Structure 1
Amino acid sequence: MMKQPTKDGFAQKKIGSKKPDGFSDNPIRAQVTLALEQRGRAINLIMVAGKACDEPALDILRQTKEGEFYLAIEKDTIISFALSDRIDWRWNQKQAALTTKDDRESLYAVDGGFDDPLTGEIQFYCKARGGDVPQTDGLSIAVDLQQSGGSYLPIIIDPDIRNPPPGGG
């Protein structure tokens, strides 16, 4: 079910920096590079290199039958998110770079990204939930795109926002 907008837009919950309780001392480590790709008039977010760094056979980047991609967290995992250097962008400077729609401090934590916003990686701590029923949380990504004049345009890449939006053209 899609969240309805608040008067300030779609509410985002900041992810804390404290590792989730009971987080593994030996988590899986994975590297994901974010990129943008233009297809016709659309711009798509691309996740590159979803292979785990320390378990080469484990691929955390998965695809649904409908063709949507997601990150599969089967064990406690630290994902290092980096921004592709093919695009003039940086992590957003005025708000949290990674957010969710719901309070998930028991599952997620974020560290890094602001020491060097152009090249800094963000460490995303993900606690495995366990159980047989897959559960998902949309992860919004806040970046600043550099414009041709040198100024930055802040944007939020939100998996719950569709174009066109529900109920409108």
Structure 2
Amino acid sequence: MITDQQKAFEQLYHDNVDKVHRLCLGYVEGNQPLATDLQQEVFMKVWQHWNSFKGTAKRSTWLYRIAVNTCLQFLRDNKNKLTESLDNKIELVVETVVDKELQYATLYACMNKLNKVNKSILLLELEEVPQQEIAAIVGIKHNAVRTRINRIKQQLTKCVNHENI
């Protein structure tokens, strides 16, 4: 027999799995297998801590907070490995990829220059998470989110166009 908790979890999963995956992709520079691993880890944590949800925000906001924290923890734990891997990938990209892929690589590299909070805001904004929810997830005021989004767009534009940022 399927419990109400299982039904609620399945609904949360189906409503958000693609968004969480794309969020994870943004943190791991488009590495699909790694993003899938992180996505699975996020949903395992959600299931394990299901009963600790306090209900002060929407369950999806709680889920995104877990996803952001999981990705940031992974990056902290693997900082040196990822830097070496990124250096090798950039050399390979420059030598072998077509223009569109190079543009994506440039965009990801520019995104990685953002601080952790701004990167989280950008990735959540790209997932069309409401700005009020983004504010709750990252712990800043709604007006600050709107301002930061504009500044982030300006920063990325300059970076992608190889202007000094």
Report which of the two structures shows the higher radius of gyration computed on alpha carbons. Answer: 2
What range describes the TM-score normalised by the shorter chain of this pair? under 0.3
Structure 1 or 2: more helix by fraction: 2
Structure 1 or 2: more strand by fraction: 1
TM-score, length basis structure 1: 0.23
